[in-house]
Amino acid sequence: MREIHLISNGKQSLESFSRVAQTVQAYVSYIHLREKHRTDEELLTWINELTKVGILKDKLIINDRVEVAVRMEVKGIQLTTHSEGVASVREAHPNLLIGQSVHSLEEAKKAEDEGANYIIFGHIYRTNSKPGLKPRGLEQLQKLVQSIEIPVIAIGGITPERVEGVMNCGAKGIAVMSGLIEAENPKEEVKCYLGGVL
């Protein structure tokens, strides 16, 4: 079944994001906390509060903050080009699920070679979160998927209508921010992203 990764957008309150996360948890593979502007202590609070309302630690992935992820014993870490390298994180924490955000085939191959479990690649379509930047498109996505062995999660401007095109390129799944966070009915919207496959 296709994976769906819900990613926080750094703009919501804990209460607001928590409501969405609770609503869609049963339908998504992972829930990413991508809260660059928050302190480690704030992130610890977020994780504690989310788990109190039933969000599983096995579904939580923390963006960039390796020590927070390890301390809170969540599922994994999502690294960026500015983070600690995959190889050193893998060596120190062999059981951690490690994702790497990449924007090129070269970065993807490096992440794979260093021990990443999966990559997030994008942006595939035009998106308001990347204004003025040309999308990478389906052709680049397909080429990248065919060039590495680890799973590829596509991100960027992916609406329910575009999911099939992305999956046909060989992606393992999709990552969604505003598409679920800003949806009037996140539960119904996530079902649309799944294409009725429940």
Q: What is the mean pLDDT of residues 164-193?
A: 97
Residue 197 banded pLDDT, cuts 50, 70, 90: very low
Name the catalytic one among 37, 93, 103, 123: 123
Q: pTM of this prediction?
A: 0.96
- Asked if the structure places residue 86 within a domain, the reply is yes
**For the segment 53-91, what is each residue's pLDDT rounded down to a tens digit?**
999 999 999 999 999 999 999 999 999 988 999 999 999
When divided into structural domains, the chain yields a total of: 1
What percentage of the chain carries pLDDT values higher than 70? 98
Sequence-ordered list of residues with C-beta below 8 angstroms from that of 34, at least 6 positions apart, any chain: 7, 8, 9, 10, 63, 78, 177
Cα 119 from Cα 178, distance rounded (Å): 20
Q: Has 5 been annotated as catalytic?
A: no
Q: What is the mean pLDDT of residues 108-118?
A: 98
Give the domain CATH number at 139.
Answer: 3.20.20.70
- Asked if the structure places residue 166 within a domain, the reply is yes
Helix (H) or strand (E) holding 91: helix 86-92
- Asked if the structure places residue 198 within a domain, the reply is no
End-to-end CA distance of the chain: 9
Full residue range of the structural domain in which residue 161 is found: 3-193
Residue 196 banded pLDDT, cuts 50, 70, 90: low
- Asked if the structure places residue 51 within a domain, the reply is yes
- Asked if the structure places residue 56 within a domain, the reply is yes
- Asked if the structure places residue 16 within a domain, the reply is yes
Phi-psi region of 141 (alpha: psi -120 to 50; beta: other; left: phi over 0): alpha
